[in-house]
Amino acid sequence: MKSFKSFIYKIIPLLSEALSTPVFNTKSSAGPNSGMDRYEIFANKVWGKEDHIKNDGGTVVIKKLELGGKTYSASKPDDKKIFIKDWMDTGGAGFKIINPAMKVSDLAKTPEYGGKGGATTISESTQELMTCAVVLNGYQYDGSDIDAKDAADIIETAKGKFGKIIGATGKEKLLEQFTENWYDLATAVSSANAILKLTGAPDKVFWTGQSWDKEIEPYNPPVAGIKDYNSSDMVVKGGDGIYYGFSLKKKPSSKADDPTLINKPITGDKSALKSILTSKGMKSIENAKIKFFDQILSDWKFKSAPDKKLIKKGIKKLSDKERGKLIRKVNNDWINDRLRGKGPTKNIFWKTMDKELMKHSKDFVRNFMKLLFRVELADLINLDEFKFYLLTGIGKKTSSGIGIEPAELKDLPMTIEVLSKVFKKNKLSLGKTLDKSGKPIAQPWEWTGGPDLAAKVRYTIYNDKDALINIDIRYKGSKTAEPQFQAIATPVFRNLFH
């Protein structure tokens, strides 16, 4: 079996992103640690004595750190907690890696940090298909630690089952991404263990990433404005003849924040708000978005001849295609500054959206939570024939292979019961998200100077004073796409299920 290091050297040309103190001051927005503070991910790796991948393809185990003149040793377990607290207090001021002495920027921003270093081509569908294949292996894997050799054997066995996944035809190329993909394998094994314990030996396994097979199509009933209201990523027909649907999520450890429950746009034809706000309110948000970006285009200085012709035509007369072409040429950092409230361009887009949300906040919080957990599916299908689950696989790469924890499983009746109790109290509200010291985080339009704010809007759904769901509204990549909702359950909300 090839070693993990040999795999790293194979993908050296793909490493392109580096770590930095500003990067550590943000949360990972993708990958196995999505939702975690990056300085905490870093601390976990340092005190776990794990290899860090460098930009030159080599690896390093970090032994000693410095923060504002104070030193922390990876050989002293108590230093980890102190380091994390001190980082929270200082924002990483005076951060250095002193043993071995090296620049932070020498470290690659790998998938553990939500970056693409070392895994540029990994598809989001790979983990789903890997879970399907591992379920078809038919084994529940004992133990929390699986060494690299056994992990590689699991992958090879799973590859042989790929052809039996109904709905996966045409995705055979993704088999290449199974090889030594420890990040996805760990959570796939955790998920498969839970699925097999629930369903027994699988009769059939369906992947819904491309379409719903005719056999299971009746369990994905059409709902106006929502594509695939049944959000199951895979469906297993158990030996008992019942169909079990699983909406797959993943995280590195049971103590980590939950992954986002939704990735839905706030504007456009597929907006998650269309079924919640009035058509007039949606129109106001769309118009504010266009005005905001038109102003950005007016403020930005274009130099090439084709751009000058478009500008001369008049910003307001541009087609969507022409407007998109110009927006893609504007410096991304420059746009992000406007999104976070800096610069002369006022962010009327975010502020208009906030106005409309707050106008309908009571309906929004109830309907948004129903959408997150697909509560109304119970009224649309026969739950004696199809059982729906939210499933979070838990696992990560370790220095010797992969580490597995029991997956978290929530069925639809349980979710309905929990939400019914919350709704009955009638104390839900939409408010500002608090920082770790308990202070409200300012929204971009409230920025009046000082430290930069994030280029996103943040809310929290509260049940009386208890924070249940933290919501981010942000762009993921291109600014010509639609900004998206991301929602993460808090520990308080998770505890409602115990």
What would the DSSP string read from start to end of 228-287?
-SS--SEEEE-TTS-EEEEEEEEES-TTSPPPPS-EEESSSTT-TTTTTS-HHHHHHHHH
Give the Cα separation of 486 and 473 in Å (integer).
6
* 359 φ, ψ (degrees, to nearest 5): -65, -30
Q: What is the mean pLDDT of the chain?
A: 87
Q: What percent of the chain has pLDDT over 90?
A: 51
Q: Which of the pair, 7 or 219, is modelled with greater confidence?
A: 219
Q: Is the peptide bond before 32 cis (omega within 30 degrees of 0)?
A: no
Q: Where are the domains positioned within the chain?
A: 4-113, 124-258+374-414, 277-359+428-498
Say how many C-beta atoms besides its own lie within 10 A of residue 177's C-beta. Answer: 18
353 has a pLDDT exceeding 90:
yes
Query: pLDDT by residue (tens digit) across 139-170?
Result: 998 878 899 899 999 999 999 999 999 999 99
Closest CA to 176 of 136, 132, 130, 134: 130
pLDDT of residue 287: 92
Query: pLDDT by residue (tens digit) across 276-304?
Result: 888 899 999 999 999 999 888 888 877 66
pLDDT of residue 116: 55
Which residues does residue 71 pair with via DSSP β-bridges, in sequence order? Answer: 66
Q: What burial letters (b/e) apply to 424-438, b meaning 16+ CB within 10 Å?
A: eeeebebeeeeeeee
Residues 6+ apart with CB under 8 A from 269: none
Give the Cα separation of 415 and 377 in Å (integer).
11
pLDDT of residue 124: 83
Read off the DSSP letter of residue 111. Answer: G
Determine whether 94 is exposed, middle or buried from the number of CB atoms within 10 Å of its CB (0-12, 13-18, 19+). Answer: exposed
356 has a pLDDT exceeding 50:
yes
pLDDT of residue 57: 64
Q: Decide if 121 contacts 177 (C-beta within 8 A).
A: yes
Query: pLDDT by residue (tens digit) across 85-119?
Result: 888 877 788 899 999 999 998 888 887 787 655 44
Q: Decide if 395 contacts 187 (C-beta within 8 A).
A: yes
* 146 φ, ψ (degrees, to nearest 5): -125, 125
| Secondary structure (DSSP) of 332-384 | HHHHHHHHTT-SSS--HHHHHHHHHHHHTHHHHHHHHHHHHTTTTHHHHS-TT
444 has a pLDDT exceeding 50:
yes
Residues 6+ apart with CB under 8 A from 72: 64, 65, 66, 79, 80, 82, 83
Closest CA to 356 of 421, 442, 267, 436: 267
pLDDT of residue 31: 63
Q: Which of the pair, 268 or 394, is modelled with greater confidence?
A: 394
Give the Cα separation of 346 and 34 in Å (integer).
30
Highest mean pLDDT: which of 76-90, 114-128, 410-424?
410-424
Q: What burial letters (b/e) apply to 5-23, b meaning 16+ CB within 10 Å?
A: eeebeebbeebebbbbbeb
Closest CA to 34 of 146, 227, 174, 183: 183
Which of the four pLDDT bands, split at 50, 70 and 90, describes residue 352?
Answer: very high
Q: Decide if 108 contacts 19 (C-beta within 8 A).
A: yes
Q: Decide if 141 contacts 135 (C-beta within 8 A).
A: no
| DSSP reduced 3-state for 1 | coil
Residues 6+ apart with CB under 8 A from 290: none
351 has a pLDDT exceeding 50:
yes
Residue 29: C-alpha distances to residues 37, 114, 263, 391, 416 (Å): 10, 6, 11, 19, 28
Which residues does residue 108 pair with via DSSP β-bridges, in sequence order? Answer: 18
Give the Cα separation of 322 and 246 in Å (integer).
41
Q: Decide if 167 contacts 208 (C-beta within 8 A).
A: yes
